[in-house]
Amino acid sequence: MTNPSHPFATVRDLLRYATSRFNQAEIFFGHGTTNAYDEAAYLILHTLHLPLDTLEPFLDARLMDDEITAIMNLIERRATERLPAAYLTNEAWMHGFRFYVDERVIVPRSLIGELLQDRLTPWVDDPDQVTAVLELCTGSGCLAILSAAAFENADIDAVDISHPALEVAQRNVSDYQLDDRIALFEGDLYEPLPERQYDVILTNPPYVNQASMDALPPEYGHEPTIALAGGPDGMTIVQRIIANAKRFLTPDGVLVVEIGNERDHVEAAFGGLELNWLTTSAGDDSVFLLRAADLPD
């Protein structure tokens, strides 16, 4: 029997309501979807344990009261608490990989994941010869796991300064049964690592400049500040990564750094280096690569 306290009966009803509610609340989309309709569809399909890419066949399915209540609760929390959807569902997806997430880590959304789909070609001559990868500021461990898939013969070391973040990363590493290939290190950038050299160093570090931090939408306030804030110009952590990278790279190794919208600050800080800007879905301004030979000693 339909609950008389609300007029909803089908997936279509809830999809329409959620889309309107999200538009009315002017929520911000930056953690997986780009609009209210897709956000609503994701939350509904997830809650109903339906395939996330299959909405049409279920639009007119009548729902049980407890299903409607669960979906309504999520819709309201998303609209009023401004929690990213990934924190409501405890999952984030990147290139077909599902990762557990909660508020101990930022929501995975790295453009480097796209580059790993192509195994960093042409910058890596032979991906099968990559045997050692380092990821700095690993957070949920998503890029370390994608690296293990991209470079099948590589062991991966992943570092984060946050113990709570590494607890999430360990859960994801274990979920993918990669404990024998991915080693997690707690500490400040290179500090906890053994003396060794890597073919590839990847990092999506804290890079948001202070003015941008002050203007972030409420959704970002639920993420760990330490994973976002990069100092006055966003380059505080990036500077330290670049300064010490050569010591940890093989002579033919590469350093890949994601910097979001901070290209101007990168050019101002490191314009004297041979920066190679890589093409991603966000354009040519968000990820740069440095060869070992072009890094400062």
pLDDT of residue 7: 87
The pLDDT profile of the chain, 297 residues, written as one tens digit per residue, is: 344 466 899 999 999 999 999 999 999 998 989 999 999 999 999 999 999 999 999 999 999 999 999 999 999 999 999 999 999 999 999 999 999 999 999 999 999 999 999 999 999 999 999 999 999 999 999 999 999 999 999 999 999 999 999 999 999 999 999 999 999 999 999 999 999 999 999 999 999 999 999 999 999 999 999 999 999 999 999 999 999 999 999 999 999 999 999 999 999 999 899 999 999 999 999 999 999 999 998
Instruction: Copy the structure tokens of residue 97.
Output: 């990989």
Taking the CA of residue 196 as centre, how many other CA atoms within 13 Å lie in the half-sphere pointing to its CB? Answer: 14
Of 226, 290, 220, 288, which Cα lies nearest the Cα of 258?
A: 288
Q: 3-state DSSP call for residue 187?
A: coil
DSSP code at position 197: -
In this prediction the pTM is 0.93
Mean pLDDT of the chain: 95
Tens-place pLDDT, residues 199-233? 999 999 999 999 999 999 999 999 999 999 999 99
> What is the model's pLDDT at position 2?
42
Pull the structure tokens for residue 4: 């008389």
Q: Of 275, 221, 272, whose CA–CA distance to 107 is shortest?
A: 221
Q: How many CB atoms lie within 10 A of CB 214?
A: 8
Q: What is the DSSP string of 212-244?
A: HHHT--GGGGGS-GGGTB--TTS-HHHHHHHHH
d(CA 230, CA 211): 11
How far apart CA 156 and CA 143 sit, in angstroms, is 10
Considering only CA atoms, give the Rg of the chain: 21
Write the single-letter amino acid at 172: N
Q: Where are the alpha helices (DSSP H) in the chain?
A: 11-25, 36-47, 65-80, 85-89, 112-117, 142-150, 163-175, 210-214, 236-245, 263-270
DSSP-assigned states of every residue in 44-79: HHHHTT--TT--GGGTT-B--HHHHHHHHHHHHHHH
